[in-house]
Amino acid sequence: MLRNRFFLIGLGCGLIAGAVFLQLMMNADKVQNKTSETGSASLLTQEQLQQEASRLNMKVIPKEQQAYTQQQIDEIKQKAVTEEKNQAAKASPTPTTTPISQATAAPTSVPKEKTVFIPDRMDATSVANLLVQNQVISEPTKLLGLLVEQKLTEKIRYGNHTFPDQTEVNEIVRIITSNP
């Protein structure tokens, strides 16, 4: 009986070791196939590359097209505003008659709009804090509460969003959850 026992223990250990090595070889083959597939990824056409990028929720930007950061966009906007003010100042004639009194002049209020870029994969708390930084809302808790209540925390869209001045929280939720 003792001899059979050692034989059976050896046979069992051998079967277990063989199964482990077989699984190891199969997994190594899968890994090798994956690396060879990614090696051929450089041979994709532009159309295939764009399809793969859209599948991964990414964008392919041509080399000739310039991509800007949010800071660069803000600087360009600021330059455009100052140039526009300078042109308006040059184009406006100097008044030769007496100016109209302040009381009779109609106040011209230009509605202010704020454009905020929401980066991809940003959570609701970060978006609320970003909107507070850009002075779109005063408190992030109202926005977060409404997003949680309506179960829209995962529905926030990335991109540039334009908010009119003094926008209500419900309208802000609608703007950031719809396509920019």
Helix orientation angle between 140-149 and 169-177, rounded to the nearest 10 degrees: 60
pLDDT at position 1, please?
57
pLDDT(86) > 60: yes
pLDDT at position 94, please?
54
At residue 77 the predicted structure's pLDDT band, cuts being 50, 70 and 90, is confident
pLDDT at position 23, please?
93
Give the global pTM. 0.40
Q: Which residues contact 46 (CB under 8 A, 6 or more apart)?
A: 60
CATH number for the domain formed by residue range(s) 68-80+111-180: 3.30.1490.480
Whether the Cβ atoms of residue 116 and residue 131 lie closer than 8 Å to each other = yes
pLDDT(84) > 80: yes
Q: What is the mean pLDDT of the chain?
A: 80
Per-domain residue ranges of the chain = 68-80+111-180
pLDDT(177) > 90: no
At residue 16 the predicted structure's pLDDT band, cuts being 50, 70 and 90, is very high
Question: How deeply is 132 buried, as exposed, middle or buried, from its count of CB atoms within 10 A (0-12, 13-18, 19+)?
Answer: middle
